A and B are shown apart, each in its own frame.
Chain A
Amino acid sequence: MADEAGVRAAASGRTPPAARRRAAALSWRRLARSPHLVVGAAILALVVGSAAFARALAPHSPVDQAFTEQLRPPSAAHPFGTDEFGRDVFSRVLYGARIALVVGILADGIAMALGIVLGTVAGYFGGWVEATAMRTVDVMLAFPYLLLAMIVVAILGPSLTNAMIAIGIVYTPQFARLVRGAVLAIREQEFVEAARALGAGPIRVLGRHVLPNILSPIIVVATLTVGFAIVETAGLSFLGLGASPPTPEWGSMLATGRSYMLTAPWIATFPGLAILVTVVAFNLMGDGLRDLLDPRLRGRGF
């Protein structure tokens, strides 16, 4: 991770332009050789495209009800059929992509931000600060994930935003542990010591010298986690602790679809498929990034 050039760049706090160009060229070549990353990015582009252009792509409104069109099977007018209120499932799935992506990425961002703060502070300062932070993390890890999220939602009140916050909190420990480990490994290295000797304060040392050098594993885990954050938030909505009707959210669509499973299976089938495709994209990208950024891990997984 911290090769000589990287160390020098980190110590000076910026990357020389030539080196940056070289690094970019290198990674583009490597990128093309990583099929996981390419396929994952392509699928993700599809999902992001559906979300961004939902208004143009959707043949119907995602929330308008049409009582003459209830529970219609897939057809040319309604490619994914209609639900119990006559709403077009295809349009709802498209708009659902917006919610899923925003919620997944924000939840992941919350977890990453909290985890980085907890992990760097614990790893860098040590002592009682570390003990307090890490014991808190241990307590959080003693909960089965979804149960912890359910309690947080119960305290904050059921809503999509709170479900997102809850999932962010649930994923904080894994980032905190990862970051702490990486900080511990890098804290005693010479360039960090040099920065400190030059009079850099803890915030500068952490932000300018430590964090840039531990970014790769954080990026890999963050990418993999987005997918799971999407599933978990959908799970909370499925249980009635997240999005409320008529929001076109995949999890709550599945929850209503469940009641019509035998008479109108398309209501539950397509939102589930959408979740699957999105999560596959993030998982593939995460695997690809891991191979690319952290070659020591190559060959684990598949």
Chain B
Amino acid sequence: MLGYIARRLVQLVPVLLGVSVLVFFGMHLLPGDVAQLLLGDKGTEADLQRLRHQLGLDRPVYVQYARFLAGAVHGDFGVSIRTRQPAIWEIGQALPVTVELSLAALLFAVAAGLAVGILAARHPRSALDAGAMVGVLIGVSMPVFWTGILLLLVFGGILGWLPLGSLLDEGMRFHRITGMSLVDGLLTGDWAVVRSSVRHLILPAVALGLTSMATIARMARSTMLEALGLDYVRTARAKGVPEPRVVSHHALRNALLPVVTLVGLQLGLLLSGAVLTETIFALPGLGRLAITSILARDYPVVQGVVLIAAAVFVLANLLVDVLYAYLDPRIRYG
């Protein structure tokens, strides 16, 4: 197992190198001179030359790439053109927000998806099943940015039950440990922060997780339906195991495997959706940072965000594969 993980980690190196090449040269194709962007309108030609030299922009492009890569390995992506903060600091502020949001969305998607899927599978071809499957079809097709707007309108605007976006109540601060407000609130025992973060997290998490939830429900229904028809489940029923236990202890474990694969596939969707969800709910996460930096042509931050996001994404996929091996003893990666 450890050997497998090590080999997979080694395989990540060329992929991330590829990403870095793509991002670096992509950013080089961007119109506009970086030195000019940094300097604004006030610099003279001599200032411009000096700055170009300082940034190494007068060097050959492969030297620039090597310097970028050497910096990136140490987490140094340069200084943000927009805020003059180190890019890595900006990313460090934003990443926990996105991670917390994505995890909350995933939690909702898996819990609600399994519940709906199992319920539908236990009453196949009933009204409940049909209703659930129509709901699933709509859920899969809902654009995440529209779901977000509707949720805000209904639960934030009309009913007024939940806040209209942002991370915490206005003026509220929390003691930073992980940067995830809910986790830090729990760690420091600050219940006001915990309460506020949960209230602020519900709507974005549901909006972001809805598509994944529908996909998981669909898969859970069909695998559960299959599992419930198998011989060993009949045996379990025949020896008098109560139905809820048949479902939870016998069928579910086998039905869960394809769902785990699906969760892995959903990660890309969640990280993509996070950009839109963060925009709608005004959350200062990685997606929000990506879009503001792209619009402002803040290339050091864009490069950093993309590399970090790609690394998080491929590592999360690796984690899913490992989890898969753990759940299915038949799979032993040698």
A258 touches B14 (CB 8 A): no
The answer, yes or no, to whether B138 is at the interface (CB within 8 Å) is yes
A283 touches B141 (CB 8 A): yes
Q: Which of A139, A145, A261, A265 contacts B272 (CB 8 A)?
A: A145
What 0/1 readout, one digit per residue, does chain A (129-151) give for beta carbons within 8 Å of chain B? 00000011011011111110011
B294 touches A144 (CB 8 A): no
Query: For this complex, into which size category does the number of interface residues on chain A fall?
Result: 35 or more
Which residue of A is nearest B18, CB measured? A139
Give the chain A neighbours of B18 by CB distance below 8 A.
135-136, 138-139, 142
Which residue of A is nearest B147, CB measured? A272
What 0/1 readout, one digit per residue, does chain A (264-302) give for beta carbons within 8 Å of chain B? 010011001001100110011000000000000001111
The answer, yes or no, to whether A121 is at the interface (CB within 8 Å) is no
Give the chain A neighbours of B27 by CB distance below 8 A.
155
What 0/1 readout, one digit per residue, does chain A (159-177) give for beta carbons within 8 Å of chain B? 0000000000000000000
What 0/1 readout, one digit per residue, does chain A (81-92) give for beta carbons within 8 Å of chain B? 000000000000
The answer, yes or no, to whether A254 is at the interface (CB within 8 Å) is yes
Using a CB-CB cutoff of 8 Å, which residues 294-314 of chain B contact chain A? 294-295, 297, 302, 305-306, 309-310, 313-314
The answer, yes or no, to whether A240 is at the interface (CB within 8 Å) is yes
Which residue of A is nearest B146, CB measured? A272
The answer, yes or no, to whether A231 is at the interface (CB within 8 Å) is yes
The answer, yes or no, to whether A235 is at the interface (CB within 8 Å) is yes
Interface SS, A side = helix
Give the chain B neighbours of A300 by CB distance below 8 A.
222
The answer, yes or no, to whether A16 is at the interface (CB within 8 Å) is no
- The CA of A241 and the CA of B150, in the complex, are separated in Å by 22
A8 to chain B, nearest CB (A): 36
A258 touches B143 (CB 8 A): no
The answer, yes or no, to whether B290 is at the interface (CB within 8 Å) is yes
Using a CB-CB cutoff of 8 Å, which residues 278-294 of chain B contact chain A? 279-280, 287, 290-291, 294
What 0/1 readout, one digit per residue, does chain B (136-152) give for beta carbons within 8 Å of chain A? 11101111111001101
- The CA of A25 and the CA of B290, in the complex, are separated in Å by 53
Query: For this complex, into which size category does the number of interface residues on chain B fall?
Result: 35 or more
B143 touches A234 (CB 8 A): yes
Q: Which of A239, A261, A299 contacts B152 (CB 8 A)?
A: A261
A301 touches B146 (CB 8 A): no
- The CA of A193 and the CA of B86, in the complex, are separated in Å by 59
The answer, yes or no, to whether A76 is at the interface (CB within 8 Å) is no
Give the chain A neighbours of B16 by CB distance below 8 A.
142
Report if A144-B279 is in contact (Cβ < 8 Å); known contacts: A136-B18, A265-B153.
no
B145 touches A145 (CB 8 A): no
A280 touches B309 (CB 8 A): no
The answer, yes or no, to whether B259 is at the interface (CB within 8 Å) is no
B149 touches A258 (CB 8 A): yes
B137 touches A235 (CB 8 A): no
- The CA of A300 and the CA of B220, in the complex, are separated in Å by 10
Give the chain A neighbours of B295 by CB distance below 8 A.
240-241
Give the chain B neighbours of A275 by CB distance below 8 A.
143, 146
28 A-B pairs within 8 Å (CB atoms) are namely: A136-B18, A139-B15, A141-B268, A142-B18, A143-B313, A146-B271, A146-B275, A147-B275, A147-B306, A153-B294, A154-B30, A154-B297, A155-B26, A157-B31, A235-B276, A238-B276, A241-B291, A258-B280, A265-B157, A272-B143, A272-B146, A272-B150, A275-B146, A280-B137, A299-B222, A301-B222, A302-B136, A302-B222
8 A-B pairs with the lowest CB-CB distances in the bound complex, closest first:
A272-B146, A139-B18, A146-B272, A144-B271, A279-B141, A154-B294, A280-B141, A142-B310
Binding site for A on B (CB under 8 A): 14-16, 18-19, 22-23, 26-27, 29-31, 133, 136-138, 140-146, 149-150, 152-153, 157, 218, 221-222, 267-269, 271-273, 275-276, 279-280, 287, 290-291, 294-295, 297, 302, 305-306, 309-310, 313-314
Binding site for B on A (CB under 8 A): 135-136, 138-139, 141-147, 150-155, 157, 227, 231, 234-235, 238-241, 251, 254, 257-258, 261-262, 265, 268-269, 272, 275-276, 279-280, 283-284, 299-302
